[in-house]
């Protein structure tokens, strides 16, 4: 209950506290047999105790608590003038030992239910046949005076008015027993079991209910019922039985669909050292519906507490929803902007989890990435957590960026369909069955990487006003930094490199030798910058490259044509978006280099001299053009990064010192491969706007019409990358056009936008032909007026 000397427990035995009496024993028993076991234990343990011992039963925490009430005799005993030590006791039932460890097998769960929560009949059998699986535990004891002070403290998270001292003491006994039992069962079962008693009926919650009832002019009883319904709809309801069941099934699913999960146990342990004082918030990238199960599997495998993971209410469907809720998902509605009662409950729930140092998890992108790139961060839950921190609910919050990457994912086909305009399939039980039924082949490995933790206190002052213009930038900056740290640790995979090579050739397929040649300059770039790679890189032979190509063939992304002397590999018909998905998972590593090249080409066309400052200025203009697509550093830092890229990848004219061209190690150019698909998608948007004159277009109408325009331009050869025809890329192009006022702009402005993008694409075509250290001015300067508007 509190830190008090005397409650000693270990693997084999619990001890009666050594503190002075009198004593009040509070027994949490789910059956008469458990009561008898505890009574016998008390009798033996107190044989030499002189002080009086009074034993009370409290409502069982495992069974039928809803219909039980606290014995009024407990409160009567606590009204006496002495200061007894209240001692919680409970019987715990343990799993069988397997390979030296007590662990639950799938057969245990499916045959008889949770062996740690047996019914009366199974209790008798276990006690008779396996007495070592039955144990009495003693929770942390507390003096009545301490409990009474916390019960009556108006400033703390004590019970609301109307809760008796006896009810409060019973709750504290349950909580103390949960903490003690956790040391026996393991940290993975650290779960909040008493939300109704500990949160809903707390003073802060009920005071908020009273405020809401007054502001909305409704009876408090009605508002209490409404907020209670919201809490029940929202909250995770962890069950050790379901946690074990889901993770056994998750292991089987991972083994069926992937080779293994690759992560660092040492990194994980270092992270959890930070959790001793402050709550952790895991912020993973979101590429697959498996992401939650994968991270949960990693935590479970290391016997760490499972996260409370935010999930959309769309996942709360028949059978699957209850399993997810009981394994740690809490469900949030998609929209609740004007529902003050719902927002209040979410605030209170997050406050409670942070205060109790339960780890949280949500996807910083909001939804799954359909393009492979990290999406723009969402501020919603981060704003709630920042508010809790500023109100002093927790001393600090530790944000953990997490990259979850896959060699291949099973959803890539549905992502491709959605990018071509198909509607997202609604989640349902049958949808889940189809997903599981599709796990018939291995999709390679799963890679989990943990970025450098970020302390909220280092980025946000408690008294900072987030409503001011400067304050409104605080959370986006934090989210941006989290996203950047996720990108920084995302490993480059063999699959991503191979797809990058195949997509670099627009007209024909490649032999394995040619794929190797396309990959080589990127591997030099990766080695030079010490970028993160997976264990199967660098390629040591053509057979390893061929293995990656064959893996993509099995999933239908790549096709192979057998020739007389060579096999020719290419992106399969209609699979360019799927191949681009894997390429885009690593594209961020090459963006600055691509912008430097393109800025050099643009500068040569525009300036009389290609000076460092001129190239940096053009790079900043390109940064602004692509600002909705990639995560860039602030302008000053970005300019420095471009300057360093110039030093790495260019050579200077011996006479003038101006930039003369790309260095040999930087050839062939990367910008046509890295940037062209995104700029072509923007060109499709610009062309769609241009053909509609000054007609005002909604974002939805523009996206639909852009799909048809994209197919037209691709068929006519005006764009060369089929993967540019994508609703995911159009979305950022539309956002760019909206920021320029072009959705309801003039025909002249729209034509100028299209012209600017056309000239940039022409520059990329010219850059593709650069193949020597020294580039002649006529070759370098084949366009004019780019980005000069």
pLDDT bracket for residue 782 (50, 70, 90): very low
pLDDT bracket for residue 1 (50, 70, 90): low
The three-state (H, E, C) secondary structure of 151-196, written as one string: HHCCCCCCECCCCCHHHHHHHHHHHHHHHHHHHHHCHHHCCCCCHH
Asked whether the beta carbons of 712 and 724 are under 8 A apart, the reply is no
Rounded Cα gap, residues 60 and 27, in angstroms: 8
Instruction: Supply 405's token pair.
Output: 């990457």
**Strand, helix or coil at 98?**
strand
Contacts of 507 (CB under 8 A, 6+ apart): none
Rounded Cα gap, residues 27 and 30, in angstroms: 10
pLDDT at residue 785, rounded to an integer: 29
Instruction: Supply 613's token pair.
Output: 């400052």
Rounded Cα gap, residues 283 and 745, in angstroms: 38
- 203-212, 416-425, 551-560 — which is least confidently predicted? 416-425
Count Cα neighbours of 140 within 13 Å in the Cβ-side half-sphere.
16
**Does 126 score more than 70 pLDDT?**
yes
% of the chain surpassing 90 pLDDT: 60
Rg of the chain (C-alpha set): 31
- Map tokens 């961060």 to a residue: 377
**Strand, helix or coil at 696?**
coil
**Does 109 score more than 80 pLDDT?**
no
pLDDT in tens, 310-351: 988 877 877 788 888 888 899 999 888 889 999 999 999 999
**Strand, helix or coil at 535?**
coil
Rounded Cα gap, residues 605 and 595, in angstroms: 15
Asked whether the beta carbons of 133 and 46 are under 8 A apart, the reply is no
Ramachandran quadrant class, 64 (left: phi over 0; alpha: psi -120 to 50; beta: rest): left
The phi and psi torsions of 392 (rounded to 5 degrees) equal 80, 15
pLDDT in tens, 17-33: 888 889 999 999 999 99
DSSP letter at 131 equals: G
Rounded Cα gap, residues 702 and 692, in angstroms: 10
Rounded Cα gap, residues 229 and 210, in angstroms: 16
**Does 781 score more than 70 pLDDT?**
no
Which has the closest alpha carbon to 410: 550, 554, 292, 312? 554
The phi and psi torsions of 457 (rounded to 5 degrees) equal -65, -25
The DSSP H or E segment spanning 568 is strand 567-571
pLDDT in tens, 153-164: 776 666 776 778
Instruction: Supply 24's token pair.
Output: 């009040």
């Amino acid at each position: 209950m509190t830190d008090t000397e005397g409650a000693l427990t270990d693997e084999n035995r619990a001890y009666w506290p050594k503190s002075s009496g009198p004593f009040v024993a509070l027994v949490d028993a789910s059956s008469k047999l458990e009561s008898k076991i505890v009574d016998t234990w008390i009798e033996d343990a107190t044989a030499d105790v002189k002080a009086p011992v009074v034993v009370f039963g409290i409502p069982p925490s495992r069974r039928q608590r809803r219909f039980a009430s606290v014995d009024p005799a407990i409160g009567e005993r606590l009204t006496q003038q002495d200061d007894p030590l209240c001692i919680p006791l409970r019987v715990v039932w343990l799993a069988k030992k397997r390979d030296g460890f007590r662990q639950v097998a799938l057969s245990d769960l499916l045959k008889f239910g949770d062996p740690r929560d047996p019914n009366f009949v199974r209790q008798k059998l276990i006690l008779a046949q396996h007495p070592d699986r039955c144990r009495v535990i003693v929770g942390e004891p507390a003096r009545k005076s301490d409990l009474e002070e916390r019960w009556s403290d108006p400033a703390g998270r004590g019970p609301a008015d109307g809760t008796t001292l006896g009810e409060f003491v019973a709750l504290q006994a349950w909580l103390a027993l949960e903490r003690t039992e956790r040391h026996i069962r393991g940290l993975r079962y650290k779960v909040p079991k008493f939300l109704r008693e500990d949160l809903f009926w707390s003073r802060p919650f009920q005071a908020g209910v009273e405020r809401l009832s007054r502001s909305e002019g409704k009876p408090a009883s009605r508002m209490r019922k409404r907020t209670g319904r919201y809490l029940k709809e929202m909250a995770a309801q962890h069950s050790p039985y379901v946690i074990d069941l889901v993770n056994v099934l998750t292991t089987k699913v991972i083994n069926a669909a992937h080779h293994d999960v690759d992560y660092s146990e040492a990194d994980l342990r270092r992270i959890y050292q930070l959790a001793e004082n402050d709550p952790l918030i895991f912020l993973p990238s979101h590429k697959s519906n498996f992401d939650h199960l994968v991270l949960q599997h990693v935590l479970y495998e290391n016997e760490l507490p499972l996260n409370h993971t935010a999930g959309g209410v769309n996942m709360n469907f028949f059978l699957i929803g209850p399993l997810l809720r009981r394994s740690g998902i809490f469900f949030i509605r998609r929209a609740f902007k004007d529902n003050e009662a719902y927002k209040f409950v979410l605030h209170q729930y997050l406050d409670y989890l942070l205060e109790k140092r339960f780890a949280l998890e949500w996807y910083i992108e909001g939804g799954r990435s359909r393009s492979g790139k990290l999406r723009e961060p969402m501020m919603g839950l981060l704003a709630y957590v920042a508010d809790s921190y500023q109100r002093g609910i927790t001393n600090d919050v530790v944000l953990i960026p997490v990259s979850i990457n896959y060699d291949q994912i099973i959803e890539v086909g549905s992502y491709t369909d959605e990018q071509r305009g198909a509607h997202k399939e609604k989640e349902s039980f049958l949808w889940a069955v189809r997903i599981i039924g599709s796990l018939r082949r291995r999709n390679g490995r799963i890679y989990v990487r943990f970025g450098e933790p970020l302390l909220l206190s280092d980025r946000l002052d408690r008294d900072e006003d987030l409503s001011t213009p400067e304050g409104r930038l605080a959370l986006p900056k934090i989210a941006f930094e989290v996203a950047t740290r996720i990108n920084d640790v995302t490993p480059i995979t063999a699959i991503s490199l191979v797809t990058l090579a195949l997509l670099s050739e627009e007209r024909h397929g490649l032999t394995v030798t040619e794929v190797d040649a396309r990959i080589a300059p990127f591997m030099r770039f990766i080695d030079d910058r010490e970028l993160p790679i997976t264990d199967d890189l660098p390629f040591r032979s053509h057979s390893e490259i061929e293995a990656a190509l064959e893996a993509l063939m099995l999933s239908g992304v790549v096709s192979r044509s057998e020739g007389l002397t060579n096999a020719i590999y290419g992106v399969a018909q209609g699979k360019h978006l799927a191949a681009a998905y894997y390429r885009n998972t690593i594209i961020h590593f090459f963006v600055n280099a691509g912008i430097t090249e393109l800025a050099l080409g643009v500068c040569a066309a525009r300036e009389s001299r290609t000076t460092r400052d001129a190239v940096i200025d053009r790079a900043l203009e390109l940064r602004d053009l692509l600002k909705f697509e990639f995560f860039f550093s602030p302008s000053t830092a970005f300019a420095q990064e471009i300057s360093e890229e110039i030093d790495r990848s260019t050579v200077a004219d011996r006479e003038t010192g101006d930039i003369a061209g790309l260095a040999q190690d930087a050839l062939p150019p990367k910008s046509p491969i890295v940037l062209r698909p995104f700029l072509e998608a923007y060109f499709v948007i610009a062309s769609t706007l241009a053909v509609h004159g000054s007609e005002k277009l909604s974002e939805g109408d523009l996206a639909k019409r852009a799909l048809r325009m994209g197919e037209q331009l691709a068929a006519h050869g005006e764009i060369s990358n089929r993967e540019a025809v994508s609703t995911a890329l159009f979305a950022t192009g539309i956002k760019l056009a909206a920021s320029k006022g072009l959705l309801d702009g003039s025909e002249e402005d729209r034509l100028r936008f299209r012209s600017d993008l056309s000239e940039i694409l022409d520059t990329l075509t010219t850059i593709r032909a650069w193949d020597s250290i020294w580039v002649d001015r006529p070759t370098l300067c084949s366009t004019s007026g780019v980005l000069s508007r």
